[in-house]
Amino acid sequence: MDSLVIGVDSSTQSTKAAVVDAATGRLLAVGRAPHTVTGEGGARESDPLQWWDALGAAVAAGLKEAGADPRAVTGIAVAGQQHGLVALDRAGQPLRPALLWNDTRSAPQAAALTAELGAPAWLGRTGSVPVASMTAAKWRWLRENEPRTAEAAAAVRLPHDYLTERLTGTAVTDPGDASGTCWYSTATGAYDTELLDLLALDRALLPEVAPSGGTRVGTLTAGAAGALGLPGGIAVAAGTGDNMAAAVGLGLGAAGLLDHPAVSLGTSGTVFAATRTRPATAALAGFAAADGHGTYLPLGCTLNCTLAVDRIAALLGLDREDAVPGGEAVVLPYLDGERTPDLPGASGLMTGLRHTTTPAQLLGAAYEGAVFALLRALDALPGGAGGDAPLRLVGGGARGRAWVETVRRLSGRAVVIPRTTELVAVGAAALAAGAAGGGDPVAVAAGWRTGEGETLPAVAADRETLDRIAAVLDRATALLTTQGHR
């Protein structure tokens, strides 16, 4: 019986469970189950209990689709959406819905935290400057707006921590996901006690930090095994955040490719690279990688990517692939505020329309506006993330012609489309394989060759479009800053 591992991607909108052959990395099946996100205005919340239910449903669906014997499963790991705040009572039950990464209500708290220490101090300690998405800002928001809930909290968890604890009964996180809280120091590799004091957050409420995301932190409890239909006692890895898991799935890290950039096109957009250079710029989140080798994962994130462009397509009555280059039109698709650039109260903006402007051009301009923001973040990566190295495109958008061609046209760089899909879940599977077999997860994924795929050659960068969008953004920043105040 071939040994199998399960990698879980618990994202904003759904849970995916990848059933993977531990020896070859062959993706046998992916089970899926949806999540519900609620909230109006800047609020974005989910009930953590539904994540657990979705995990069970996704694992069951994956095993069924693969026709796999659950007894062949030797390990499991969870990669979760970053930054979310899960507050638990003494019984381990959520005190309220989780505050998600894209909940922008904590923007004033993020600004206040930045002012209290200054951006250089935050960068020096954590590698990041607080923005609305960071967990520290959400904890400050909770203390100010729901003080009774904050005072009642017996545990504070990130989404993947919560699920890992449900699997093992052990409170544990990893350096990668912990580095997105703004209370963990990438300089020291530990929680920063002075920052915890500033946040009025008791260290006892936080999980221990495992050496890496692939560290075996426990075994599947009998209760969890019954809920998931898996054997009790199988290895459970510490897991990590979704972006860190995608990097593992691509084979990025100390045991694999360094300084090779990736662009993830999902609900949010991200650019990142595994590097030995510890970043210190407010334009990036200075995360740690999940590999446990002191590798960093500097990352730029935009809130508005595929979901925002799909919404504009729907408003125009077009299919997402109906786009053509925008011409004179510029669309800044900041439908949920924005993180890069840091404009949490912004809304979408269209300009440069003529009588001759077509709906297809407006849709193309939305693609261009979303990709422009990602490329600005890419420029901030150490060394421009490999200079002319190909961009690895991942996420749902990487399967869309319009996304791929817009990235090629605006970046002027070659593009690699990995053959393996669901790289977050596959990266989590590599973490599970590491926990079950004792190997380095990045080396495991590199051996699986999951980051390889079709390479599309570079084309000349469309500087005219890039300059036009840059000019509009520079002129419109003041207007965008005043929008969306509620």
Binding site as annotated, residues for substrate: 82-83
DSSP SS3 for 486: coil
| Given the residues 21, 103, 161, 242, the one annotated as active site | 242
* β 190-191/235-237 pair status: unpaired
The Cα angle at residue 422 between residues 418 and 424, in degrees rounded to 5: 105
Closest CA to 447 of 63, 21, 3: 21
Q: Is 242 noted as a catalytic residue in this protein?
A: yes
DSSP of 108-142: HHHHHHHHHH-HHHHHHHHSS---TTSHHHHHHHH
Residue in this structure with the two tokens 């006892």, named with its chain if needed: 204
Radius of gyration, CA atoms only, the chain: 21
Cβ–Cβ under 8 Å, residues 97 and 105: no
Instruction: Give me the amino acid identity at 456.
Output: L
Question: 319: number of CA atoms within 13 Å, CB side?
Answer: 5
Strands (E), 149-268: 155-157, 172-173, 184-185, 190-191, 208-209, 216-219, 235-237, 240-241, 262-265
Residues belonging to the chain: 486
Task: Give the span between the Cα atoms of 10 and 216, in whole angstroms.
Answer: 19
Residues ≥6 apart with Cβ < 8 Å to 243 = 82, 176, 264, 270, 272, 287, 297, 299
List the binding residues: 82-83
Cβ–Cβ under 8 Å, residues 99 and 106: yes
Q: Which residues are bridge partners to 185 per DSSP?
A: 190
Show the tokens assigned to 393: 């495109």
Show the tokens assigned to 252: 């990025």
Contacts by 463-467, CB closer than 8 A, 24 or more apart:
465/325, 465/326, 465/368, 465/409, 465/410, 466/372, 466/375, 466/410
DSSP of 290-311: SSSSS-EEEEEEES-SHHHHHH
Catalytically active residues are: 242
